[in-house]
Structure 1
Amino acid sequence: MLRNYIKISFRSLQRNRLSSVINILGLAIGLACALLLYLYIQDEYSFDDYHRDQDQIFRLESSDRGKGNVHFPAFVGPLLKNNYTQVATTARLGYFFGAVSLSVGKKTIEQKKVWYADASLFDILHHQPLVGNLKKALIQPNTMVLTRSLSDKLFGTPKMALGKAIEIANKPYRVTAVIEDTPKNGHLKATAFVSLSSLKTVHPESLSDKNRYTFPTYIKLKKGASPESIQPTLVSLFEGNMDKNYNLNKTIQLQMHLTPIKDIHLFSQIKAGRDYARRGNLNLIYIFTSIAVLIVLIACINYMNLATARSTERAKEVGIRKVVGSHRIHLIQQFFVESLLMASLALVVCLSLIEVFLPSFNQLAQKSLTINYYNPWTLGGLLGGIILVSLLSGIYPALILSTFKPYLVLKGKFSRSRQGNSLRKALVVFQFSISLVMIICTTLVYRQMQFVRQKSLGFDKEQMYVVSLWGLKDGVQHKTLRSEFLNHAGVQRVAFTSEGMQGLNSVMKLMIEQPDGSKKEVEVLNTRITSNFIPNMGVRLLKGRNFGETYEKSAIVNEALVKVQGWKEPLGKIVNGQRVIGVIEDFHNESLHKAVPPMVLFLNEDNNSQYALPYVFLKLHPKNMQRTIAHIKNVWARNNSGGKFDGMFIDQHFAKYYRADQRQGKVFLIFSLLTVFIACLGLFGLATFNAWQRSKEIGIRKVLGASITQILTLLSSNFVRLILIASVIAFPIAYYLMNQWLQNFAYQTTIHWGVFIIAGGLILLITLSIVSIQSLRVARVNPVNVLKEE
């Protein structure tokens, strides 16, 4: 029986080549899109699944004044272990800020993602050892663990690295172990770990200062212990061990909690910008899941529509089969086998498309996704997917076709049901609606990206170049550097600050005078500057004056701080013991996802040492910038003590904030185009069958004097009505979705009605083009050739 079903299914495919090609191609593209998105989603959910005892591993997190934090003073880790019997062990990480210079003999390389770490880190986070004993590797000061890639870069092989010394800031560190590179689906990226006890000789105050929040802390609970058993007392334990002058703002209470390691990537409450970990976007997962489901549904709808549209052609076949003894269940089985065969052929094409386009998708999504065809889960998923698609696309046509009455069909009295026509129209409306939503959303995403690129940032960012002065010789003075930098026509202005552009996000709690005269601790951004920083950056002074050349105990604040504090007259107010002498216009120092926060600028007391103000902002002339940058590097080289030159345009600083949004926009655009293409494939097939099924009606109308234009209008009018209905459905949905997405930005483009009109017009144009081309072919046929068959 099955062999007969398969043979008939192949014959049906050959006999109806156009619909077969449309269905197989549409399903193949739909399945390929869904599979790519599934691989992406699966990878996102797989983060940190390789750790042993992962259900017992947590990261300490807090919310302070409404903001999340993953950094704590150094004493917190040992404090938790000593006070909770449920805690098996804890481990702390410490930062090397920026790239680290690693020297072996005459070889020096710059390496990022180097961490200080407790020896117990390897008892919590799983790392595959290659050489050395991980349990003892970081117990002693001045020891370090390398990853395979770093050991290969410095020594050639892991075995050759063991026991060797690496110099960091003129101090030797002995390599005690080498581990495999950290997995790509791990939240913590590292190239090397240095023993945390080394800080006792490098920065001893960092381990003893209870107000230095710089240590991420991991906790491993004992088997059977739950985080709920210790979370309620975390805050009281922490506050009870702080210094007496610890001043917590009780208006928003501190909260501390344990986040499972598996939840860090997607579900942590900490905002990605305040976290060192690789973070995913849960909303993006939901969007991709929806797109994958919708694309497959649209492809299945194509099959359903074409199968039911061809019902008159299959009616006599069904009638004869019933006459010779076939039961309804046999007919349903036959049509299900046809859809299963179609889906199987589509899968073969789909996998071929995956092999071709997966590298490009990986590059776009910044992933390393692969398909393991020998994995039982993969095989089971593909098989289950094919069966599901076959059921979705084939069950309705099978049920409809199997209900035909043989005596009516064989007498030629069969006519298509109104219910079938109504459902087919409803499915076409669904396809049009999804296509419209995708087009509108894609357009608005690109409008928002264009908006953030063009919006004024509140300062002159053009040709502004920032250079870090860390690594210069001791004693180099700002006056000397300014003179040397300006000794080139390409450098127009020079100003120094205590923070780089990203460092302007540095948050401190300052005592600020309130409208009622009282003082209150407020969390603000702050930096120290030279007096020419404000004019150099092109920031507008709204009230008061700028700093003078000589040091004065004063402060300049931005509009945001004035609004937050409710000051009617900000001049003369006291900020951290210093009088406000000016108010500047708000300027952005990070992405437009966030509103400009309150900011305070202080004039630096020591303007001579490069370590007091270790960043320089240089305004460059737009001509011959490469030569100008070469000059800046030469100045750096003449004063360099062995560090690495670190300079960048401010444009580059802002561009990185939107890379993820731009990647998402590209992915969304590609899948939107594919969605529309699949829908157009189905529309092409449906328009073709619709035109040929009405060929006799068209012939009669032509005989009665109808023009080709009238016939095209007649055949297109139904589709125009369906587009109008789809627009009524799609426009509110698209508006709601984009309004929600734009909430991620503090500054947003407008959702202009023109976008909806253009999207609707585009779908209308595509539809009319497809329908008209097919209708024109039928309308041009000589009516004599059509009617003589009657």
Structure 2
Amino acid sequence: MIKNYIKTAYRSLLKNKGFTILNVLGLSVGLATCLLIVFYVVDELSYDRYNTKAGRIYRISIDAKLNGNAGVYATSEAPWKNILKSSFPQVENVARLIDKNGLFLSPQKFYVKKNNGNILERNIVFTESSLFDVFTLPMIDGNAAHALDEPNTAVITESTAKKYFNKVNVTGRTLTINDSNTFKITGVIKDIPAQSQFHYDFFLSFSSRPESKSNNWGYAGLHTYLLLKPGTDVAKLEKALTNIDIKNSYNPSTWTTGDNHLRVFLKPLADIHLRDADAQYTLEKSGNIQYVYIFLLVAIFILLIACVNFMNLSTARSSNRAREVGVRKVLGSARKYLVAQFLTESVLVTFVSAAIALFLAWMLLPLFNQMADKHLEITPQIIAWLLPALLLVVLIVGFLAGSYPAFYLSSFQPIDVLKGKIAAGFKGGFLRSFLVIFQFAISIFLIIGTLVIYNQLNYIRNKDLGFDRDQVLVIKNANTLGNQAKILKNDLKQLPGVANATLSSYQPTGDEDLKTGLFPHRKIDIKEDILTEFWSVDEDFINTMNLKLTNGRNFSKDMSGDTAGMIVNEAFVRKLGQLNPLNKDVYRYSYGLQQYHIIGVVKDFNFASLRDNITPLAMVYDFDNGAISVKLHSANLSALMAQIAGKWKELSPNQPFTYSFMDQDFDATYRTEQRFGSMFISFSTLAIIIACLGLFGLAAYAAEQRTKEIGIRKVLGANISTIVAMLSMDFIKLVFISILIATPIAWWAMQKWLQDFAYRTTIQWYILAAAGATAITIAFITISFQSIKAALSNPINSLRSE
């Protein structure tokens, strides 16, 4: 019986090739797109799940607000480990990490010696042997229990061992870092999975650092992870830790005055990648759960549109099969067999579409990986859950799409059908009208979202940031030159085509930053703390970056007193509360009290993400050779770059010449938003195309059902434009209703998205109007093809008696 159903379904689908192709095409493209998004979402949600104890691992985090400076911090203070181990039995183990951003009294860049050269390595962290108990980092050579107990020991990854020694079993070998520090390799671990919150290649012993000898409150540059025992009351533990932190802070009463607060909270390991976007000093840049929700919603929308197309075309075609149902009933077919036949056809189409969708997803995966900056692949683990899920989708979609013809048409009385008493046509299909409104409302929502995202990304690219990033070359790793960095800078300034150059680790588009507390009085009062970006720059920094001085003067190498001078931005002046800040003294406590006097004020410029408001910034006159920023104005850029590279090689022949351009660094800051925008626009376009496929099929069936009406109208003198307008109006009305439904919802949703940006565009009325006009135009173009075809047909053919 089932074999007969399948054979009959195959013949019926083959007989109606146009219907079958539209259904299979729309559904397969929709399912393939949905699959790609699901792969992305599953990958994002799987971060750190490779750890066997992931459910019991937490990071100590701080939520603090002081004098209007609010922030969430991923780092914590040094004494926590001893306190936790001695006073909290519910803590099974503690692991601490300190990366390059948390170091002091040491270079923040690490060069590892290989043969006669040095290789800059960025993925280096200092940690303890307990890390390998807290996290699942399988060791393939060495003893994990005591690997990092001794000073100057190191654990490296498998790929790093092959990179430096061409083999994995390298325990006992040594690595030389920054020419003078030798580390003994005590272990080799497997490469860290891509779905991890950190990806270090070198794990150096924490006891090698001077920070390891500090057990005082005040230094908060460590990442502290706890492995809790099963059943631990996390909320109770957080409260106890908060009380300890406040008690040991400077002036504890400060945190209970006004709107100041200090709270210690434990961040679950599984939440760090997607729910840690607001935290500062994270080990790696995290993802955003908001984007996961958005793409998951888009996937649902696309799947719904594809399913709606399938249902619409099935219901439209089903009215043409009413006579078939009547004949079958007259010949003795029971209703249950008719139901089974319709459902078999529907499930067969869905099954074929799912198979094609799986193939399309596999073919498009490399392109999607490039767009999403992922390394997704279809593994046996994915297949294990994908095939059952696809089978479930096939059954659900097939049943829903086939339910209308199966249960509705099979209920007709044969005599009514054979006499033509069952009305057919588009106007009578309330279900189809509702489904068209539904899918076009989704399409309009996506069109508005696409326009708003495009406008915001364009706004970011073109916003005046307050500095000139055009044609600014940033030469990396200038600290390898030592004092010769000044020589290189001065040599570069003499080159034709170089407007200016400056030495500094800090650039408005760089990833180096340093926050410190500055105070308006010699007597340190934490209530007056101004949390400030603190940059060491030279006398050419302001001119090279084209910053605008609004008050005072620039640094001068001819004025020895400028070593105690400071140039601040307008945000700092507002925080300071001084109308005339020039020559005002401010103080910093760092290895003693340091006094500075303000000599200039620069106009606010965006040195951080446009998601954040401009915060206070202080620049001091000090030698910092982290990088050389060079302002170029040459038409022959390639020749000038060759000259600059030559100057580098003269001073440092064994070190690679690495550089970037500041505008590229700026774009990299918003790479996540750009990827999100590109993916959203691509998926929205596919959703609209899928919706149009369904509308195209509906228009074809609507025109087919009204062929006699069209023939009569033509005989009575109706022209082509009148007939096209008549056939199109039924659909255009539904699109108008969709616009009224989708526009306010889309406006609200995109306003919520824009609120994540401190600097953002506004949703103008013409964006909403353009989205509606686009939807109407797309619908009209889709419908008009079939309408014009019907209007041009010979009325004799449609009015001829059967």
Q: Structure 1-normalised TM-score?
A: 0.92
Q: Which residue pairs with 1:555 in the alignment? A: 566
Q: 1:184 aligned to 2:194?
A: yes
Paired letter, 1:28: S
2:295 is aligned, of 288, 293, 296, to 288
Are the equivalent residues in 1 in contact too, given 2:479–2:627 (CA < 8 A)?
Answer: no
CA deviation after TM superposition for structure 1 residue 486, in Å? 1.9
User: Aligned pairs, how many?
Assistant: 776
Spell out, residue by residue over 1:507-563, the C-alpha distance to the aligned partner (whole angstroms, 9 max, x if none): 11111369xx99711212222333343233211122333344412444332222333
Q: Which residue pairs with 1:167 in the alignment? A: 176
1:617 is aligned, of 607, 629, 637, to 629
Q: 1:483 aligned to 2:490?
A: yes
Q: How many percent identity over aligned positions?
A: 36
Are the equivalent residues in 1 in contact too, given 2:314–2:401 (CA < 8 A)?
Answer: no
Q: Which residue pairs with 2:618 in the alignment? A: 600
Spell out, residue by residue over 1:441-477, the C-alpha distance to the aligned partner (whole angstroms, 9 max, x if none): 1122122111111111101222223335653455547
Paired letter, 1:303: F
Are the equivalent residues in 2 in contact too, given 1:308–1:420 (CA < 8 A)?
Answer: no
For 1:633 and 1:789, how far apart are their aligned partners in 2? Answer: 86
CA deviation after TM superposition for structure 1 residue 248, in Å? 6.4
Secondary structure of the equivalent of 1:135? helix
Assess, with a 3 A threshold, how the Cα gap between structure 1 residues 540 and 272 changes in structure 2: closer, same or farther: same
CA deviation after TM superposition for structure 1 residue 322, in Å? 3.4
Are the equivalent residues in 2 in contact too, given 1:528–1:613 (CA < 8 A)?
Answer: no
Q: Which residue pairs with 2:469 in the alignment? A: 461
Structure 1: 5+ residue runs without aligned partners?
Answer: 605-609
Assess, with a 3 A threshold, how the Cα gap between structure 1 residues 229 and 247 changes in structure 2: closer, same or farther: closer
Secondary structure of the equivalent of 1:230? helix
**1:378-527 equivalence runs, <5 A:** 378-416=386-424, 421-468=429-476, 470-476=478-484, 478=486, 480-497=487-504, 499-501=506-508, 502=510, 505-512=513-520, 520-527=528-535
Assess, with a 3 A threshold, how the Cα gap between structure 1 residues 245 and 267 changes in structure 2: closer, same or farther: closer
Paired letter, 2:463: K
Spell out, residue by residue over 1:313-362, the C-alpha distance to the aligned partner (whole angstroms, 9 max, x if none): 21122223334444444433322222111100101111121121111111
Q: Which residue pairs with 1:4 in the alignment? A: 4
Secondary structure of the equivalent of 1:276? coil
For 1:214 and 1:560, how far apart are their aligned partners in 2? Answer: 26
Question: Bigger CA drift: 719-728 or 149-158?
Answer: 719-728
For 1:23 and 1:477, how far apart are their aligned partners in 2? Answer: 66
Assess, with a 3 A threshold, how the Cα gap between structure 1 residues 116 and 247 changes in structure 2: closer, same or farther: farther
For 1:469 and 1:784, how far apart are their aligned partners in 2? Answer: 83
Assess, with a 3 A threshold, how the Cα gap between structure 1 residues 345 and 644 changes in structure 2: closer, same or farther: same
Secondary structure of the equivalent of 1:465? strand
For 2:546 and 2:341, how far apart are their aligned partners in 1? Answer: 75
Secondary structure of the equivalent of 1:266? coil
Question: Bigger CA drift: 3-12 or 702-711?
Answer: 3-12
Paired letter, 2:570: E
Assess, with a 3 A threshold, how the Cα gap between structure 1 residues 67 and 730 changes in structure 2: closer, same or farther: same
Spell out, residue by residue over 1:745-777, the C-alpha distance to the aligned partner (whole angstroms, 9 max, x if none): 111123233333333333322322222221222
**1:69-218 equivalence runs, <5 A:** 69-96=73-100, 100-106=110-116, 108-159=118-169, 161-169=170-178, 170-199=180-209, 203=210, 207-208=214-215, 210-218=217-225
1:626 is aligned, of 629, 638, 642, to 638
2:243 is aligned, of 236, 239, 242, to 236
Assess, with a 3 A threshold, how the Cα gap between structure 1 residues 714 and 525 changes in structure 2: closer, same or farther: same
Assess, with a 3 A threshold, how the Cα gap between structure 1 residues 62 and 117 changes in structure 2: closer, same or farther: same
2:609 is aligned, of 583, 588, 591, to 591
Q: Which residue pairs with 2:757 in the alignment? A: 745
Assess, with a 3 A threshold, how the Cα gap between structure 1 residues 298 and 721 changes in structure 2: closer, same or farther: same
For 2:799 and 2:119, how far apart are their aligned partners in 1? Answer: 84
Q: 1:725 aligned to 2:737?
A: yes
Spell out, residue by residue over 1:407-451, the C-alpha distance to the aligned partner (whole angstroms, 9 max, x if none): 211222111489952221121122222212212211221221111
Are the equivalent residues in 2 in contact too, given 1:507–1:525 (CA < 8 A)?
Answer: yes
Question: Bigger CA drift: 567-576 or 771-780?
Answer: 567-576
CA deviation after TM superposition for structure 1 residue 22, in Å? 0.6
CA deviation after TM superposition for structure 1 residue 691, in Å? 0.8
Paired letter, 1:10: Y
Assess, with a 3 A threshold, how the Cα gap between structure 1 residues 473 and 431 changes in structure 2: closer, same or farther: closer
For 2:597 and 2:182, how far apart are their aligned partners in 1? Answer: 47
Secondary structure of the equivalent of 2:203? strand
Q: Which residue pairs with 2:673 in the alignment? A: 661
Structure 2: 5+ residue runs without aligned partners?
Answer: 102-107, 588-594
Secondary structure of the equivalent of 1:149? helix
Assess, with a 3 A threshold, how the Cα gap between structure 1 residues 498 and 150 changes in structure 2: closer, same or farther: closer
Q: Which residue pairs with 1:607 in the alignment? A: none
For 1:765 and 1:666, how far apart are their aligned partners in 2? Answer: 23
Q: Which residue pairs with 1:538 in the alignment? A: 546
Secondary structure of the equivalent of 1:495? strand
Q: Which residue pairs with 1:26 in the alignment? A: 26
Q: Which residue pairs with 2:777 in the alignment? A: 765
Q: Which residue pairs with 2:592 in the alignment? A: none
Secondary structure of the equivalent of 2:182? strand
Are the equivalent residues in 1 in contact too, given 2:425–2:706 (CA < 8 A)?
Answer: no
Q: Which residue pairs with 2:590 in the alignment? A: none
CA deviation after TM superposition for structure 1 residue 573, in Å? 4.2
Secondary structure of the equivalent of 1:188? coil
CA deviation after TM superposition for structure 1 residue 279, in Å? 2.0
For 1:83 and 1:594, how far apart are their aligned partners in 2? Answer: 39
Are the equivalent residues in 1 in contact too, given 2:735–2:776 (CA < 8 A)?
Answer: yes
Q: 1:370 aligned to 2:377?
A: yes
For 2:166 and 2:390, how far apart are their aligned partners in 1? Answer: 42
Spell out, residue by residue over 1:46-104, the C-alpha distance to the aligned partner (whole angstroms, 9 max, x if none): 11112122222111111122211111233322332222111111111122466532124
Spell out, residue by residue over 1:254-312, the C-alpha distance to the aligned partner (whole angstroms, 9 max, x if none): 111111211111223x5266422352221111111111111111111112111221233
Assess, with a 3 A threshold, how the Cα gap between structure 1 residues 212 and 467 changes in structure 2: closer, same or farther: farther
Structure 1's consecutive aligned runs of 4 or more residues displaced over 6 angstroms after TM superposition are 243-249
Secondary structure of the equivalent of 2:677? helix
Assess, with a 3 A threshold, how the Cα gap between structure 1 residues 458 and 278 changes in structure 2: closer, same or farther: closer
Are the equivalent residues in 1 in contact too, given 2:123–2:199 (CA < 8 A)?
Answer: yes
Assess, with a 3 A threshold, how the Cα gap between structure 1 residues 467 and 64 changes in structure 2: closer, same or farther: farther
For 1:769 and 1:192, how far apart are their aligned partners in 2? Answer: 60
1:699 is aligned, of 687, 711, 716, to 711
For 1:751 and 1:221, how far apart are their aligned partners in 2? Answer: 47
For 1:365 and 1:519, how far apart are their aligned partners in 2? Answer: 45
Are the equivalent residues in 1 in contact too, given 2:425–2:702 (CA < 8 A)?
Answer: no
Paired letter, 1:366: D
Paired letter, 1:742: L
For 1:716 and 1:53, how far apart are their aligned partners in 2? Answer: 61
For 1:322 and 1:286, how far apart are their aligned partners in 2? Answer: 49
Question: Bigger CA drift: 323-332 or 304-313?
Answer: 323-332
Are the equivalent residues in 2 in contact too, given 1:99–1:113 (CA < 8 A)?
Answer: no
Question: Bigger CA drift: 246-255 or 776-785?
Answer: 246-255
For 1:445 and 1:332, how far apart are their aligned partners in 2? Answer: 46
Q: Structure 2-normalised TM-score?
A: 0.91
Secondary structure of the equivalent of 2:60? strand
Q: Which residue pairs with 2:325 in the alignment? A: 318
